[in-house]
A and B are shown apart, each in its own frame.
Chain A
Amino acid sequence: MKIVVCIKQVPASNDAKIDPETKRIIREGQKAIMNPFDTYALEEGVRMKEKYGGEVIALTMGPPKAEAVLREAISAGADRGILLSDRVFGGSDTWATSYALARAIEKIGDVDLVICGKQAIDGDTAQVGPGIASHLDWMQATYVMAVDSIEDNNITVKRMHEDGYDVCELRLPAVLTVVKDINTPRVPTLKGRLAAQKSEIPVLKPEDIGADPDKLGLNGSPTRVVKTQPPEPRQTDTLRIEGSPRECAQALVRELKFRGLV
């Protein structure tokens, strides 16, 4: 099995700083971590490799410092990492990001399975996984909460839905996006850390993956952020209730009855 795990580096905190010019997120000078959902994607890939043999490749697109999440991935069991980094990739929306990642996956070649996190905690879109599947015209399963088996080029997975789940079988190659329930990621070992330090991480540019520059970055992104603003606070005159627990309860129930709520 040749498995690619897509990992995004995201800001550790949610104090978003926005470039007034491009309206895009400023990533410089922010502490960055591996997108939490991607840690489950990585762990699932490593477990599959341990069970079925093969190789796990961690793939990310981002600024040069995104290399750090690839080393982290190697210390947690990935065999190698690939970084897509170039000015031309900058400002990509989910269409362009999934295009770039799909081209890289094609370039890697003979990939059986791509695993993504359910969503990234900065953009929160959950669009890149299915986007990659679409660019590659592969099958997909999203919100995967368990992988039951892989046999004869078929993978059987359990997909989470709001109202329950379903179990389905799809043909490889395929793209999965995974939710937290799927596993508990391991802690990196010392051996893994050493491997991560030593690992050579190639940096690929658009021409290295055969990507059309017109489909990358801001140029290749159909969406435009036109404005960002803080959310408006809810307008209320708060009724404050204080006193003994019994007084509070009486006042509340009286008020709720008055408003016809109980």
Chain B
Amino acid sequence: MIAKTYIEKAEYRNIWVIGELLSGEIQPVTYELIGAARGLADARQCEVWTVLIGAGAGAGAGSLFAYGTDTVVVVDDSRLDGFQDEIEAKVLVRLIKKYKPEVVLCGATTRGRALIPRVAVMANCGLTADCTGLSIDPENGDLLQTRPAFGGNILATIRCPNHRPQMATVRPRVMKALEPDISRVGRIIREGILDTDADKMKRIIEIFHSREGALNLSDAQVIIAGGRGMKGPEGFRLLKDFAFRVGGAVGASRAAVDSGWIPYAHQVGQTGQTVQAKLYIACGISGQIQHLVGMQSCETIVAIDKDPDTPMMQMADIAIVGDIFEIIPEIMNELAKS
């Protein structure tokens, strides 16, 4: 969809969010994206639309208005049970051709990252992965998309001047959902799937959901994270006790994960998860940029390290110089007193 002229671009209107559903349940990233889309829509003076595709997708549609969406498009069909990327992509391309959104946002989750590149190719438009910043260029109304590249060493700003819609994925926990306002209302549009959409269908044999690990970490208010300084799996047992004491989750640097001390689901950073806890306690993590990009938006960061000069110790709100193995038991003692 090449739009070479201003007139053609102007045919494309509204900011779309592709909702993420898990067994019919709307996932938090959807609300976060609606929050981001609201700001863009206000700058463009247009609507926010949310598209929900899946078996049972209709159920939660009405709840989305409170979070800032004006219109919800629902495609609810039993053939969409489980993750059918090929069908969802075809349906989305059809909806895009019909309604012509100017921006399409999707979560940079395993599902979003499978689905949306497929759509972008079919719709002949650009796609920017893992954006951490989105804004509207006041001069021409284009979407400015900022993303880390090279393991977070540079931030690139990307634009799609001649193609519509402008598509981007955003990681969970990067944008903020709006406070729900139940006085907001909107409309629901129902769309169906065509038999030809379903000519390529996967047979889903088994689905396994675990609420542990990954999800736990991204939703946690308190994260106790360890790095190479934890020395081994024993060190992580100490962190688990500590986390349990404060009702937190355990995070890790890639060095710790690669050493096999803790599963990958716990990895924070560029190639792990992005977290946004109220409190992040980094124990023996030097704070290389690839780690920092995953946790620097936490509210309060505490670093414990022998070396006072690491990047993590420099950027932390509270930096404690010393040996983790001596300090953590003392912290737990101190917490037990109160």
Contacts and interface: CB of A to CB of B under 8 A. Distances in A.
Interface stretch (B188-196, B232-240, B329-337): B329-337
A229 interface: yes
Given A168-B202, A227-B157, A261-B300, A245 B322 contact: yes
Interface stretch (A45-53, A72-80, A122-130): A122-130
A239 to B, nearest CB: 5
Interface residues of B, number: 92
B187 to A, nearest CB: 31
A115 to B, nearest CB: 15
Nearest to B330: A249
A246 to B, nearest CB: 5
Contact of A169 (B203, B270, B296): B203
A164 B109 CA distance: 13
B57 interface: no
Contacts of A231: 148, 152-155, 289, 293
A153 interface: no
A178 to B, nearest CB: 13
Given A226-B157, A238-B316, A261-B279, A125 B120 contact: no
Interface string B81-94: 01101100100000
A184 interface: no
B182 interface: no
Contact of A131 (B22, B120, B200, B326): B120
Given A161-B110, A238-B318, A127 B149 contact: no
Say whether chain B's binding surface is mostly helix, strand, loop, or mixed: mixed
A248 interface: yes
A167 interface: yes
A240 B319 contact: yes
Contacts, number: 251
Contact of A252 (B161, B289, B318, B323): B318
What's the interface size class on A, roughly?
A: 35 or more
A259 interface: yes
Which has the most chain B C-beta neighbours within 10 Å: A222, A245, A252? A222
B33 to A, nearest CB: 16
Interface string A54-68: 000000000000000
Contacts of A238: 313-319
A259 B300 contact: yes
Interface in A36-52: none
A223 interface: yes
A139 B86 contact: yes
Contacts of B176: none
Contacts of A246: 330
A65 to B, nearest CB: 19
18 contacts: A14-B150, A126-B117, A130-B113, A130-B117, A164-B207, A164-B209, A222-B160, A227-B156, A227-B157, A234-B301, A236-B317, A238-B318, A241-B319, A241-B320, A249-B333, A256-B279, A261-B300, A262-B279
